[in-house]
Every structure is written in C-alpha cells, then in structure tokens.
Structure 1
Amino acid sequence: MSAAAPQLLALAEKLLGGPVPVRIRAWDRSEAGPPGAPVLVIRHRRALRRILWRPGELGLARAWVAGELDVEGDLYEALDLLAELIWERPEAAEGERSGRGALALARDPEVRAAARSLARLAGPGLPPPPPREENRRRTGLRHTLRRDRAAISHHYDVGNEFYELVLGPSMVYSCAYWQDGGSLEDAQRDKIDLICRKLALREGQRLLDVGGGWGSLVLHAAREYGVSAVAVTLSREQAAYARKRVAEEGLTDRVEIRVQDYREVADGPYDAISSVGMAEHVGKARYAEYAADLHRLLRPGGRLLNHQIARRPLADEEAYEVDEFIDAYVFPDGELAPVGRTVGALEEAGFEVRDVESLREHYALTLRAWVANLESDFGRAVRLSSPGRARIWRLYMAASALAFERNRIGVNQVLAVKTPESGASGLPLRAREWNDA
C-alpha cells in the first residue's frame, strides 16, 4: 500500500479546494506538505472513521480528545492556518449562511470520489464510541434548573486542583485586566477591583455575586470594601473550595457561599450585583428572565455589573448554532449573544445601561496565560483529570485566544443601574470616574 500522508494531503486539497498550509504525518510515519509548517499528526486511521461518520467539527473534536489527532509545532499557528482554510473562506461563510454548503459539496462528483477514497484509507468498521469526556447525558428542556445544574457540574466539578494548575493562585476563571505588564495574578486582582469600583462598593452594603466561582470576588469585596457578600454557584466543588477560603480569611461573618441557582435567590434587595462569566450559561430563551430576576433583587439606585462573552451579530440571527465542540466537551448548553442583545434585554427589564467596556484583547492575553500554565505541567494536569480532559482544555483555550485576537468573539463589562423614579442614578457626571482610583 502506498504511503498514507501524500494521499491524505491530496484528498484534503480536493475537498477543501486549495492547498493545505500544514504538514501531515500519518499513522504509517509518512509525511507530506510544506516543510517547516506545523504538523497535523494523524496517529490512527480511527480518526478518519470518526470524521467520515460525523463530518465537521464534532468528528474532528472526538479524534482530538481521543488522542488520534495532534499538532506538533506551534498550536496557535496551526489553528490559525486551519481556521483560515476551513472556516474563513468566502465560499465557506456563504455556505454557512445559506445552509446549502454541505448539500452543494455532496452533489459534487469530485468531492464524492474523494470521500470514497478517504473511506478506503480509513479502513472497514464503525467508528469507536465518543470519548468518555463528551457530555451525552442531557435530558429535558434546555436551561431548566435540573439541566443547568448538570451542565455546570460537567464543566466545573472536575477537580479544584486541576483548576489551581490552570488558573493560578487567583482562582479566577474570567477575563483578567492587564496593566503595565504585570502577572496573571496582578491582572486578575485588578479586574476584581475594577468591578468593585464600578459598583461603587462601600462598607455596610450587601453584594450578590451570581456565579461566584471559587469566591475570589466576594472575598476581595468583603476584605477591601467592607461589604457583606453572598456568592451563588451551582458547582458543589467550587462552593466547598470557596467556603474553605472564607474560613481561612476569618470572613465567615461577612461572606456566605451558597449552592443555589440565581432564580432561587429570594433575600433581596441587594445594594449591588455582579455577574461575571455567568450569563453565557443562561441561554437566549431565558435571558429576559435573567435580567428581570437581577432587577428584582436590586434596590432602587443599586448597580449591576454584567461581565459577558459576546459573539458577532449574524445577518440571520435565527441561523445561530452553538459550537459543537464547546457544547459537547466544554460548556454544555452555553450560548453567546451579541452585546447589543444583552444591553437590550437589560434595558427591557428596567435597567438604565450607563457604560459598556470591551476587554476583548485582555481575554486573549488571559487565555494565553492559562494555556502556558497548562502546558508547563501537562503531565500533572493529565493525572488530575484525564488525558482527554487536558487535551480539551488545551485546544479550547488556545482556539479561544485566537478567536478573541481575531475579533470573532469579544467580552464586555456592562454597568447598569436600577434608576429610581426620581431619576437620580448616583453615577458621577464625569464618565468612568472609577478609572482614577
């Protein structure tokens, strides 16, 4: 049998309609493609069977998680080259918008012939089952209390030590705020403090942190600003870790950590509410309810800081589909909305939106720092989770860093006020006075 890599390269160029910018190494150790380029390693022909039986992103993701696909060389460069080839070609974008891309390819005789050749290379047999890390146990409607708990558990209840390795000492799992070339820990502390200043926290106030993570924000707010704080999370592992930190800092009289859905919070009003990296889990069908619930829990004159990843708007918003890899392996049932839709929902709930700040480039830097943490001790990451889980995180964080850098997605802090009937918002006349602190 002739070498596999040259055959794969020729088939890929035929299927994709252009040169392949990465080098290919096949299971038989053969190689083909441009020298010096990142190498796409196909360790086993099982990867081809996965892709043939589930064409598109999910088949590729399953092969990656199973270790049947890998990249040698610069992962960021490889992902950038492959994204430009597969997803950013004008004809690919048009096919996605029209919904006719796959149908047109299936009718192309050359493409059908290439697919048959690929099937011969893949060998006989059904594809292996999906990797165990794939979330396949979803029942009921999206964004019910029960299903949301299961989705959050899938992502966050994988071991606090694993998160310590990736996130570092700050234990903050959201975009940092980079200033003057400091460390990741400095940038996360500065982000948390920026949120506290935007909320104008002061001693004696009550703060609700929705999706409170490992407690970093409420600890800072109680320690540095003297507030009484409640953090709610659906992750039991997060809550246990956060409670331990609260006890160690002697703040149990001022900080409460609850395993609770934001829809179940009933002890308002609060003087301020923060929601950082949580609204992405809410879902478009529930976003109006989310905004209304936060409005209900806030006192008149109170402030909301909503920190949320945003996607680019589409010409046909109904055509939006959740990313298959992210949905199956990272954030089940997560959905992104354009920032304009978020602002609109908050306004419709009764909030006055006073400030929107984009931190897009900051998130790219944050993700690259997390990838560096993971890669620096990858063997331990595997031991703390699984080989598949560590590979998922490496791929999703590196690809996400590129997505922020290329403006495919963004992240925004939206500051809103529950302005009372008097119209007194309590905001300074001079814009962004918090930046002077």
Structure 2
Amino acid sequence: MADAAPRILALAEHALSRPFPLRVRAWDGSEAGPAGAPTLVLRHRRALRRLLWRPGELGLTRAWVAGDLAVDGDLYDALDRLSGVVWERGEPDVPAARSGVAAARRALDLLRDRANYRLAGEILSLAGPGLPPAPPPEEVRRRTGIAHTRRRDQAAIAHHYDVGNDFYALVLGPSMVYSCAVWPDEGTTLEQAQAAKLDLVCRKLGLREGQRLLDVGCGWGSMVLHAVEHYGVRATGITLSVEQAAFARERVAEAGLADRIDIRVQDYRDVADGPYDAVSSIGMAEHVGSEKYLEYARTLYALLRPGGRLLNHQIARRPLRDEEAYRIDEFIDRYVFPDGELAPVGATVSRLEEAGFEVRDVEALREHYARTLRAWVANLEAHWQEAARATSPGRARVWRLYMAASALSFERNRIGVNQVLAVRTDPDGASGMPRTRTAWLS
C-alpha cells in the first residue's frame, strides 16, 4: 500500500508539535497534508536517509541540491509557510526552539525514545538501509587552515563565481550586475534598475572627468564601464574570479575602452598603485570576514587621496545581543558563499570610522534587493534547462533556493543592504563634499 506520505507527515507533525504547513508527496505516489498548499515532494527515500544521517539544515539542503527533494507549487509560498517552523522567531538571541535544527534533533530523539519506538521504526523502514549518501558535488569540501588568506579567499570566490559566465548571463540578464538594483518605479525593468544603481554610485562618489576610480570586486565589469562611458573617469577593476575578469576584458575591448579601463585578477590587499579619487566596493565586503574587515577598511583608506570617497555597498544582518553567538548559515557556507560573513550595518560604520574614514551617508535599499532577487529567480526559472546545462542541475537548484529564500529574508527584514558613503578628509578635516545630501546627489 502506498502510504509513505502520511507516515512522513505524522513524523513531521510529531517532531514540530504542530501541523505541518505543506502538503507532502512521497516517491510511492502517496500524498497527505493540507489541500491547496504547496507540496513538498520527496522523490526518493534517499531524502530521508540524508536527514537521518545529517539532521537539520544541511541534510535538507543536500536533499534539495541532489534533486531528492523538491517543491511543487509556489516556492516563495512554500518557504514563507515553512518560516514559522524553520526560521527563528522573536528576539535574535532567543534559542531556536522552533528552528529546523531543533525540529530535526527532536525527530532524531524519537529513535532513542521507547515511547516512540514504533514511529521511529517506521521512519527507519521508510528511509531504507544503506550508508549515508555522498554529498552533492556542488558542496564545498572540508576546508583547512585559516580563513581569509589570499589562497583561501581565491578558492571561495572561484566556487561562487567561476561556475560559467553563460549561467550568470541567463540569471542576471544583459546588465551582468550581481548586486541590488535600484527600482525608481513599478514600470522599471531589471536592466534599467541596475543602470540606475550604477549611476547612483557614480553620483555619490562625485565622479568627474579625468579622475581615477578603483572598483573592488568588479564582477563582469559593469560598474567600470558605466563610470568611464558616462563620467569620463579612468578605471581599474579588480576581482579574484578568473572567469569574471576574462568576460570583463572582452566587454571593455568591445566598447573600445581598453586604454581607459584596466581589469585585473588581484586581491584588494595587493593593490599598490594609488592614490585613487574614488573607490567603489559593491557586494564584495561580505567576502572579507569580520577578522579582516578593519584591514580591508584601512587598505581602501590608504588607496584614496585626501578628499577621496568610498562607496561601500554591503548586505547586513540584524545585530545580536551576544555577537559571539553568530554562526555562518550552513547552507550558505557550504553551497553559496564559502567563508562569507554578514555584519550589522553599525559594525560596518564603526570599522570604517576606526580606519580613519568620515561616514557621510547611509542609505538602506532592503526592499530594492527583494525585488532584484525575484527578478533573478524569474530569469532562472524562465531559462531553467539552459541554466542547468550551463553549469549543473544541482548548481541551478542551489541558486534558485538561495535567491528565493534571500528575497523573503529581505522582505521580512531578516537581512538588509546598505550603501555607506565615506570620505578620507584632508589633514585639516576638509571633506570637499557639498554640505547637503541633495547637492551631492544632483
């Protein structure tokens, strides 16, 4: 008899002590759960084995990436419904009593509880015999050594960005900008919104013809191309991604700007040809790490002339009362941004000030990033087969889950994104900046 789904649903509700918010469909064709809800599809009993051998977020992630687990229906709705039982509620430092990890541990405790022996036996029979399934090939293998050395940072960047320029072109669209866009109105397209963001950065930096711009983490070259074409600067873009650099150089050559734009595969710590008039760092500082952030800020400060400006565009997390309790998200660390770290915007401002900068402006763009991510997910879903061929089906599944979940996190104010404008004043304290925000944005 096909009854795997009801049995799985019973386990889930017993573990969570509440109704499970999704419908469940199992590999034997059985279904159970609320009618009309998105359906959690267990395509293979291997999904349960992954959870039994690695309870919590990592087991779920491995099942998703491997294709053993899927969602039939609106992915955003499914993730939103799960947020009440997977994501933490209440104050940031409240124990994760309702988290997915806690729920999975409770489920595993069933195996040691004689009162639940029968139910535990059913789950073991559903999962089937066998050793733990191997992690999907898209997972970062165990790392050794100190985080954020030059070699380890390069490996982390390669994992995230060197997965195929064709894949990113399908997801990002013609703009090839992989950071939060700025949406002036409802009728704005993704490409227009990214152009608006690049122009906003240029205006905040006060770029003028003949100035030197350094773009740290230049991606596929969109920022330096925009700044040179529209503001007449000379630009240097640095990245640790070999594939990004090759793509950016091709774009620069096609635009006939090779004499004004230099694209380098280079660590920010190795740049030694300052001073620059302006530095942009857009979506790069998340890779720096808290232990290295002051070094990063001091390095950029030293590369600027007096009066030079820094525009730091960075994702931020909510602060914790006990900052030592912060842990890097396991899914993000293993599959998306190895060694990546988020900091509260207040900590970012403090480090920049400690390095010598005067912080002049902070602008939150949280809602803009949610809309940007939804546009990227729509691109990925519209070109799913092409995207899977351009990288791997597992990698495409990683990016779909990561971007959809991130969109909801921005919408629910679990994370944010901010542009911080700072200046290196001259020895007498002069900033060279207009006195009002309106003036320097005009």
Q: TM-score range, shorter-chain basis?
A: over 0.9
Take 1:218 and 1:203, find their aligned partners in 2: how far apart are those partners? 13
Contact between 2:434 and 2:440, CA under 8 Å: does it hold in 1?
no
Bigger CA drift: 216-225 or 1-10? 1-10
Aligned to 2:52: 52
Take 1:318 and 1:117, find their aligned partners in 2: how far apart are those partners? 40
Contact between 1:194 and 1:434, CA under 8 Å: does it hold in 2?
no
Aligned to 1:31: 31
TM-score (norm 2): 0.95
Deviation at 1:91, TM superposition (A): 11
Aligned to 2:309: 303
Aligned to 1:146: 151
Deviation at 1:93, TM superposition (A): 7.0
**1:29 match: secondary structure:** coil
Percent identity between the aligned chains? 70
Take 2:157 and 2:258, find their aligned partners in 1: how far apart are those partners? 25
CA spacing shift, 1:103–1:61, aligned 2, 3 Å: closer
Report whether the alignment pairs 1:398 with 2:408: no
CA spacing shift, 1:64–1:157, aligned 2, 3 Å: same
Aligned to 1:74: 74
Take 1:93 and 1:348, find their aligned partners in 2: how far apart are those partners? 27
Aligned to 1:240: 246
Aligned to 1:334: 340
Please give the root-mean-square deviation of Cα atoms over the aligned residues, in Å.
Answer: 2.1
CA spacing shift, 1:98–1:418, aligned 2, 3 Å: farther
Contact between 2:214 and 2:235, CA under 8 Å: does it hold in 1?
yes
Deviation at 1:164, TM superposition (A): 0.4
CA spacing shift, 1:115–1:256, aligned 2, 3 Å: farther
Match of 1:172 among 169, 172, 177: 177
Contact between 1:95 and 1:102, CA under 8 Å: does it hold in 2?
no
CA spacing shift, 1:98–1:188, aligned 2, 3 Å: closer
**2:280 match: secondary structure:** strand
Take 1:399 and 1:282, find their aligned partners in 2: how far apart are those partners? 23
1:1-400 matches, cutoff 5 A = 3-89=3-89, 94-96=94-96, 105=106, 109=113, 113=117, 115-136=120-141, 138-180=143-185, 181-400=187-406
Contact between 2:38 and 2:71, CA under 8 Å: does it hold in 1?
yes
CA spacing shift, 1:425–1:177, aligned 2, 3 Å: same
Take 2:129 and 2:105, find their aligned partners in 1: how far apart are those partners? 27
TM-score (norm 1): 0.96
**1:94 match: secondary structure:** coil
Contact between 2:13 and 2:20, CA under 8 Å: does it hold in 1?
yes
CA spacing shift, 1:270–1:184, aligned 2, 3 Å: same
Deviation at 1:432, TM superposition (A): 3.7
Moved over 6 A (4+): 97-100
5+ residue gaps, structure 1: none
Letter of the aligned partner of 2:38 in structure 1? P
CA spacing shift, 1:102–1:396, aligned 2, 3 Å: closer
Take 1:160 and 1:286, find their aligned partners in 2: how far apart are those partners? 29
Take 1:197 and 1:223, find their aligned partners in 2: how far apart are those partners? 14
CA spacing shift, 1:386–1:111, aligned 2, 3 Å: farther
Contact between 1:222 and 1:229, CA under 8 Å: does it hold in 2?
yes
Q: Deviations along 1:132-169, whole A, 9 cap, x unmatched? A: 01110523210000000000001101111111000000
5+ residue gaps, structure 2: none
CA spacing shift, 1:110–1:12, aligned 2, 3 Å: farther
Take 2:75 and 2:334, find their aligned partners in 1: how far apart are those partners? 21
